[in-house]
Every structure is written in C-alpha cells, then in structure tokens.
Amino acid sequence: MKRGNAMRKGVAVKTMSGEDKTRRAGRVATRRRWRTISGLAAVLPAAALVIAVQGASAEASGNGVPSKGPIVIGASLSLSGDFSADGQAFDRGYQLWEAYQNAHGGLLGHKVALDVISDASDPGQVATNYQTLITVKHVNLIFGPFSTLLTVPASKVTNRYGYAMIEGAGGGPSAFATGLRSLFDVSAPVANSLVPFAQWIASLPKSERPKTAAYPTSNDPFTEPQLPVAERILQKAGVKTVYFKVFPAEVTDYTPIADAVAASKAQIVLLGSVDVPTVSAFIHAFAQQHYDPQAFIATAGPDQGSAFVSAVGAGNTDGMMVPNAWYGGSSNQLSKAMVAAYIKKYGGTPSDINADVAEAFSVGEVTTQAVEATHSLDGSKLISYLHGNVTVQSVQGPVHFDNVGENVSATIFVFQWVHGSFVQVLPLGDPGSTKIEFPKADWGS
Amino acid sequence: MGTLVVDAVISGILTGGVYALMAAGLTLIFGVMDIINVAQGILVVLGAYLSYTLSVHLGVDLFLGLVVTVPAMFVVGVFIQWAFIRRLGERERTAMSILATYAVAIIIEGVLGLVFGVDYVQLNAWYVNQSIHLFSFYLPYIYVFGFVLAVCLLAALYVMLYRTRFGRSVRASLQDRSAARLVGIDVDRVAAVTFGIGVAVTAAGGMVFGATNSFNPNTGYDLISRLLTIVILGGLGSIGGALGAAVVMLVIEDVVAVVWSPIWAPFVFFAMLVVVLSVRPSGLFGQVAGRAQ
C-alpha cells in the first residue's frame, strides 16, 4: 500500500513542474501548520486551565485568601446607559463600603480593592463582564450588578464558576426563579413591595377609602410582578381597577398613557416605574391635565433623593410615595454610621442620599460578615454559610436568606415626600413612621 | 374612548413637532453632506444642558435662552465639522461618518458626565406644568409652544434652502458636489455652515426635549434610533419630510397606545415603516433622483 502510494506520488512528481513542486510543498507545509494549530487548539485550553488554576493556587491559600496584596472584589455596574443614574449611585455605595471597610481593618487582615467594569446597562455585556472578572482578572469575590434585568444573566455566569453572588438590586421574582443557590439579594424581595401601601388603603374606613385605582407599568422584571399583588388586595377591599396597562421600557411619548390614566379619573395611581424619567413624565402629564389623584405611589424614582427633586421640580414632590427598605433618616445605627460617612465623603443631607447607596453598602456588609464567619473567600463555603439559617446585619436591617436567596427578614416600608422631606409613613404604628399625607397635595403646591 | 383618541392625535401632532425639531438637523446634514450624524442624540442633550445652565444658574427663560444657545450650538457644529468631518475622504465618507460622529458622541457624553453628573434633570418654567383648556382638552403650553417653534424654524430652514442664494448653493452641493465646485461654489464652506445650522437647530429641539423629558448625559442613545427612523421615513434630506414623518410616527404610536396597548405602539409603527419603505424606498417625501452623485 505504502509502495503504491509512493509510486503514484512518484509519477505525480515526475509530471510536476518546478512551480508545481513549490505549490505542493507549500500545501504540505500549510497542512502541517494546520495540524500543529489544531493540536495547539486542543491543548491550549487545557493548558490555560492548568495555568489558571496554578496561578490562582500560587496566589491564594486553600480558603481562597491571597497570601499578599488586597482582596479584589469584582463588580459590573451600569455606569452608562439607561440605568446609569442608579448604577453610579450603586458605585458610590460600593466605594463607600470599600473606604469604610479599609478604615476598619479591611477583610481578614487584607485591604479590599474594588474592580468595577461598566456594562452600559446591557444584559449581554454584564455576562461578559463577570466572565472577564472571573476568568481573566481572577477576582476573589463578586458583588452584583444593578437591576433584576442584569442580575439574571450575571448570576448564571457567576454560578457556573462557583462564586457567591451577593447583590442588592436584583430582587425581582425572575432572579430567584432561576433557582440558583449562589444568588443572595440583601434587599427586600420586590414582589411584595406594594403590599404595605395596598393594605393601608384597604384598612381605611369605607367612607375614606378610594374606590378606583389605575396601574400603568413598565414591562420590566422589577416592576411588573409588583402590581398584580397590590391589585388583588385592593380589589378585595372593593377598590375597582379602572386602568391596567403595560408599556415598553423605552417610550417615545408618555403623554397618551398618562392622559388615559387621567381620563380614567382613578383616585389612586400605582405606577410600575424603574427610574426617575418615567415618574417625572407621569407627574408632568398629570399636572398638565389638572389630574390630582388622592395617592400616587411609584415602585422606583421618588427614592432617588435630590435626583428625583431636580427632575420633577420641588413643587411636584409633595405626597409622592415609594416602597423601599431604607431611607436616609433611618434609626438603624449601622445606617447612621453610613449616612455620616456618605455626607463626609460626598456632602449633602440624608434626604439627598439615593437608596441605591444603602443597597450597595449592604452587599459589602453581608459579604464582610460571611467572610469573617467562615475565614474564607471560597464560594462554596460562603454559599453554605449564607444558606445556614444565619441572620446578619446591614444598614437596611437584618438579612436572613431563604433557600433561593431572598431576604425574608427585610421589612418593607413606604416613604413619602412631605414638605420637601423624605419620611417613612408606613407601616402604620412603626416607631419610625410619621403621619401620612392623604390625600396628597395638588401638583405645584 | 373617542375623546381619548382625539386627545392622542393632538398629543401625537404636538409631540411630533418636538421630534421634527430634533430630527431637522440630522436630515439637513445627511442631505447636504452624506454624513450620518449619530451624535445627533447627544447634541440634543447638549442643547438641553445649555438651556438648563442658563435657566438654573442665570434665571434666563428657556425660549429667550435660545438667543444664546442657538449661536453657541452653531459654533459647536462648525467646530465638529472642522475637526472631525472635513478630513473624511469622499469615497468612504458616509460609512466613516458613523464612526467619526460616534466618537464625537462619546466625547460630548463624557464631558457632560464630568460637568453635570448622571442624575436626571428637567427644564422647568411656568409653562412646563400649565396647559390651555380648549373645548374638553388640556393642551400643555410647552408642547404648543414647542410645536409653534418647530413650524417656525422648519419654515425658516425651508426658506433658507429654497429662497436664498446660500440655499441654492446647498442644494447644488446636495445634487452634485463636483459640479457645484465647477460652478464656483465653495463646497467645503457650504458644508461647514450647513453642519453648523443643522446643529444650531438642534439647540431648539434640545430645549423643548429637556422641558418635556428628564434627561442625563446618556439619554442621547435612546433618541438617536427614533430620530434616524424619522428621517428615513420622511426622506433623507427633506425638512418637510422630517415634520411629516415625526407627526405620523407619534400619532400612530399614541393612538395605538390608547386604543390597543402601549406595548404594541412601537410594533405597529415599525410595521408601517416597513410597508412604506417597501413601496417608497426613498421615504414619504424623499426625492428618488435627488442624490445623483
């Protein structure tokens, strides 16, 4: 067989010109190169993996703590794009925690150093960023991104590599529906955020209780699950739904939607919003239509401190409500310390502080307690600890995770802008709650 | 429901005027220079921030402030053309313009972020929250004023293009740059001035946008896709087309939002856009043979 082949080749060689020989030799060389490249392609990933593992083990001991240098914590945040206002507030919260933690001895005797990459509010980019943080930058720990929309793809990546993802703004049901045991949201689960408000309305004497409600909502995994829960409570209390429509995240013109709500003459409005511009658009349209609902609560926006006031105008804030787990005037001692540190670093007043800052700071606090309790940065140990029926403390209050990583200890409050101050008004009877403004003041008052 | 539909039509027409004002510069710049200015969105936001600065720090009325912001934006436009666009080669001009203007957008966004931060702001004046009660409708002053401003500025642009010597030079450049050069037109100067005018008009669009929407330095990205849609539907280079397309887009979206569902509004509009472009690839008001080069 070999000979036959050689003979055929020999005949072929005989008939080849010099140029053909060169071409053939080139083809053979190319084939060899391809074989070499194919071989390398097969070997390189394995080699890379070995090098990566060796690199990691050279730097870290068995519990994942680096032998020297800082503990590096990676995070992807929306520093630009649709969520940039929240993303940058979150960044301030993370940076504040980093400074606070380093001023208090760091973590396991090491300084902490944040490595934050911007994801431009893009669900595709956020997955790439966490992949980069883990496989290229070999960060020791991971902090979560902003929003449920970005937490879902991010958590799948971090779970694949065994990292614990502790986050503060991914509390939508779709984040927990993934069933990942490595995901932990330190804030209150969002699905029940409007429950205190709905229960308060339902508890009003029949003569004072509003009879109609409108529910416009953005089609976002953070907002959409909240409204049906509140609607059920209110309908049970006899509050009729006169408007319930979902609008896309990016609307060219909010006016017809807001005008339709105004035309429904709903006595209360529950708005599913993810940001300030949405709330601002509705407020301005309502004011233009001379429509003053008795109560107006938005799922997000009014909790953004001075950013909310500058967008809607100081005269339009009065009576606006928002559910949340934290506000600048919280009596929680940890919160007071954080507020003092924030004002020292960034200036302003407690009312100016965006609630995102507290959510981000809480991520750092929970991580600190888990790391110090386990003396480890190892993902599996941190995950086991946080699922181990423990309660840790944060600026937002106690944190206790259920089997899918929801914080079941979180208390949801409702806050309201009253005469230029952002105050807690619900639950009624809570020591921190002040008198609720109802009905709300007219626009521009 | 009937009242709501009429209200949606009125709202669509008034808001369409605002969008036309923002898109006019884009269509003008493309029509004359073959430049796809993807920085148009951020230039709108820059115009809004200029009005914000005058209003908040100097107490200047938003419309009065245009006396300052329009010339300022003209200078910005001429500078962008001189610094980034002028150097683009003739052959790859359109494709390269996307990259160049994207760079411009990133630079402006970065500077705005440094100066103003990312917190949302909105322009405020007495007419932002107030409205006129006409029959059974409340017409917001800001939208009415914005629409009137849009019609006036677009009419002025039209007159400039079709009733002045400069306009003749612009149209000659639009039809054939080489022939325009041969008859003595300084095509480069025409291009610089046209770019400046296109950006200057955006100052007005930015002011009205900023008074009707909250904005931050990142808002421009949401805008650019809508503005490009408007100029494509209206016909590239057509000022009247920009107004017509903006009104059509907003009326369709607003009526669908009220009659059916807000979630379907963009879908219906884009479905209609596909149908229109299948029948008239040059857009509603575009001239098929207008761009001979």
In chain A, domain spans:
2-48, 71-191+333-400, 192-328+413-426
| Cα separation, A320 vs A422, whole angstroms | 9
The nearest alpha carbon in chain A to B4 belongs to: A260
Measure in Å the smallest separation between the Cα of B159 and chain A Cα atoms: 30
Question: Which residues are within 8 A (CB) of A198 and not within 5 positions of it... i.e. 6 or more apart?
Answer: A229, A230, A231, A233, A234
| Cα separation, B43 vs B61, whole angstroms | 20
Mean of pLDDT values over A254-277: 93
Architecture field, domain A192-328+413-426: 3-Layer(aba) Sandwich (3.40)
Is the confidence at residue A50, as pLDDT, over 70?
no
Report CA A20 to chain centroid distance, whole Å.
64
Best residue in A119, A219, A253 for a mutation probing chain B (most B CBs within 10 Å):
A253
Question: Which residues are within 8 A (CB) of A346 and not within 5 positions of it... i.e. 6 or more apart?
Answer: A92
B85 touches chain A (CB under 8 A): no
Average pLDDT value over all residues in chain A: 85
User: At B103, which CATH number?
Assistant: 1.10.3470
The nearest alpha carbon in chain B to A308 belongs to: B120
Q: What's the complex ipTM?
A: 0.84
Is the confidence at residue B252, as pLDDT, over 80?
yes
DSSP 8-state secondary structure symbol assigned to residue B81: I
B138 touches chain A (CB under 8 A): yes
| Cα separation, B171 vs A76, whole angstroms | 49
| Cα separation, B136 vs B14, whole angstroms | 17
Q: Do A248 and B212 touch (CB under 8 A)?
A: no
Q: Do B120 and A287 touch (CB under 8 A)?
A: no
Q: What band does A2 get if pLDDT is binned at 50, 70 and 90?
A: very low
CA atoms within 13 A on the CB side of A274: 29
| Cα separation, A225 vs A235, whole angstroms | 16
For residues A58 and A369, which has the higher predicted lDDT (pLDDT)?
A369
3-class SS of residue A346? helix
Mean of pLDDT values over B124-142: 88
Q: Which residues of A touch B251 (CB under 8 A)?
A: none
| Beta bridge mates, A107 | A110
Q: Which of residues 314-343 of A touch B (CB under 8 A)?
A: 316
Mean of pLDDT values over A194-218: 95
3-class SS of residue A216? strand
CA atoms within 13 A on the CB side of A185: 29
The nearest alpha carbon in chain A to B121 belongs to: A311
Q: Report the pLDDT value the prediction gives residue A51, as an integer from 0 to 100.
A: 45
Name residue, tokens 């569902």.
Answer: B261
DSSP 8-state secondary structure symbol assigned to residue A392: E
Is the confidence at residue A29, as pLDDT, over 80?
no
Q: Which two tokens stand for residue A338?
A: 């954080």
Q: Report the pLDDT value the prediction gives residue A41, as an integer from 0 to 100.
A: 52
A245 touches chain B (CB under 8 A): yes
**H/E stretch holding A113:** strand A112-118
Q: What band does A9 get if pLDDT is binned at 50, 70 and 90?
A: very low
Alpha-carbon distances of B118 from A84, A344, B38, B122, B271, rounded to whole Å? 7, 21, 21, 12, 34
Q: Where are the beta strands (DSSP E) in A336-409?
A: 391-394, 397-400
Q: Do B11 and A80 touch (CB under 8 A)?
A: no
Low-confidence winner among A22-36, A202-216, B262-276 (lowest mean pLDDT): A22-36
Q: Do B129 and A443 touch (CB under 8 A)?
A: yes
Of B118, B140, B213, the CB nearest to A88: B118
Look at residue B290 and tell me if it is in a domain: no
As a whole number of Å, the end-to-end CA separation of chain B is 50
CA dihedral B85, B89, B95, B100 (to 10 degrees): -30
| Cα separation, B146 vs B127, whole angstroms | 11
- The alpha carbons of chain A give a radius of gyration, in whole angstroms, of 28
The nearest alpha carbon in chain B to A249 belongs to: B263
Is the confidence at residue A335, as pLDDT, over 60?
yes
Q: What band does A341 get if pLDDT is binned at 50, 70 and 90?
A: very high
Q: Do B129 and A284 touch (CB under 8 A)?
A: yes
Is the confidence at residue A330, as pLDDT, over 60?
yes
Pairing state between β A71-77 and A112-118:
parallel
Q: Do A252 and B250 touch (CB under 8 A)?
A: yes
Q: Which of residues 256-275 of B touch A (CB under 8 A)?
A: 257-258, 261-263, 265-266
A289-322 exposure pattern, b = at least 16 Cβ within 10 A, e = fewer: bebbbbbbbbbbbbbbbebbbbbbbebbbbbbbb
| Cα separation, B205 vs B226, whole angstroms | 14
Q: Report the pLDDT value the prediction gives residue A307, as an integer from 0 to 100.
A: 83
Q: Do B214 and A444 touch (CB under 8 A)?
A: no
Is the confidence at residue B248, as pLDDT, over 80?
yes
CATH superfamily of A71-191+333-400: Response regulator (3.40.50.2300)
Mean of pLDDT values over A245-258: 87
Look at residue B285 and tell me if it is in a domain: no
Look at residue B284 and tell me if it is in a domain: no
Of A248, A260, A284, the CB nearest to B258: A260
Report CA B223 to chain centroid distance, whole Å.
10
Of B226, B255, B262, the CB nearest to A247: B262
Is the confidence at residue A14, as pLDDT, over 90?
no
| Beta bridge mates, A241 | A213
Mean of pLDDT values over B52-81: 95
The nearest alpha carbon in chain A to B212 belongs to: A281
Is the confidence at residue B208, as pLDDT, over 70?
yes
Q: Which of residues 117-136 of B touch A (CB under 8 A)?
A: 117-122, 124, 128-131
Of B11, B138, B213, the CB nearest to A281: B213
Mean of pLDDT values over B194-216: 92
Residue range(s) defining the domain that contains residue B178? 2-279
Judge whether A115 and A75 are in contact, CB under 8 Å.
Answer: yes
A247 touches chain B (CB under 8 A): yes
Interface A-B: count of C-beta contacts within 8 A: 127
Q: Which residues of A touch B124 (CB under 8 A)?
A: 313
A388 touches chain B (CB under 8 A): no
Pairing state between β A141-143 and A71-77:
parallel
Q: Do B11 and A444 touch (CB under 8 A)?
A: no
Measure in Å the smallest separation between the Cα of B107 and chain A Cα atoms: 13
Judge whether A169 and A186 are in contact, CB under 8 Å.
Answer: no
Pairing state between β B137-140 and B131-134:
antiparallel
> Shortest CA distance to A337 belongs to which of A99, A89, A128, A50?
A99
Asked if residue A153 has a cis previous peptide bond (ω within 30° of 0), the answer is no
Measure in Å the smallest separation between the Cα of B214 and chain A Cα atoms: 5
* Helix ranges (DSSP H) in B59-138: 66-80, 93-116, 126-129
Q: Report the pLDDT value the prediction gives residue B287, as an integer from 0 to 100.
A: 63
Judge whether A140 and A164 are in contact, CB under 8 Å.
Answer: no
The nearest alpha carbon in chain A to B126 belongs to: A444
Q: What band does B266 get if pLDDT is binned at 50, 70 and 90?
A: confident
Contacts for A3-10: CB closer than 8 Å, 24+ residues apart: none
Q: Which residues of A touch B215 (CB under 8 A)?
A: 277
For residues A301 and B286, which has the higher predicted lDDT (pLDDT)?
A301
Look at residue B287 and tell me if it is in a domain: no
Q: Which two tokens stand for residue B200?
A: 């200057």
| Cα separation, A275 vs A268, whole angstroms | 20
| Beta bridge mates, A295 | A268
Low-confidence winner among A26-40, A279-293, B212-226 (lowest mean pLDDT): A26-40
Look at residue B293 and tell me if it is in a domain: no
Low-confidence winner among A53-67, A158-172, A335-349, B92-106 (lowest mean pLDDT): A53-67
Q: Which residues of B touch A263 (CB under 8 A)?
A: 3-4, 7
B34 touches chain A (CB under 8 A): no
**H/E stretch holding A423:** strand A421-426
Judge whether A287 and A258 are in contact, CB under 8 Å.
Answer: no
Q: Which residues of A touch B218 (CB under 8 A)?
A: 80-82, 84
A294 touches chain B (CB under 8 A): no
Asked if residue A427 has a cis previous peptide bond (ω within 30° of 0), the answer is yes
Q: Which residues of B touch A304 (CB under 8 A)?
A: 119
Q: Which two tokens stand for residue A317?
A: 């804030």
User: What percent of the residues of chain A are helix, what percent strand, and what percent coil, each to the nearest 5?
Assistant: 45, 20, 35
Low-confidence winner among A153-157, A248-252, A414-418 (lowest mean pLDDT): A248-252
Q: Do B214 and A281 touch (CB under 8 A)?
A: yes
| Cα separation, A393 vs A242, whole angstroms | 42
Q: Do B138 and A263 touch (CB under 8 A)?
A: no
Q: Report the pLDDT value the prediction gives residue A113, as an integer from 0 to 100.
A: 96
Q: Which of residues 190-229 of A touch B (CB under 8 A)?
A: 219
Q: Do B15 and A260 touch (CB under 8 A)?
A: no
The string of DSSP letters for B239-276 reads HHHHHHHHHHHHHHHHHHHHHT-GGGHHHHHHHHHHHH
How many structural domains does chain B have?
Answer: 1
Measure in Å the smallest separation between the Cα of B247 and chain A Cα atoms: 12
Q: What band does B135 get if pLDDT is binned at 50, 70 and 90?
A: confident
Q: Where are the beta strands (DSSP E) in A140-239?
A: 141-143, 165-167, 183-185, 212-218
Q: Do B212 and A246 touch (CB under 8 A)?
A: no
| Cα separation, A351 vs A349, whole angstroms | 5
Measure in Å the smallest separation between the Cα of A281 and chain B Cα atoms: 6
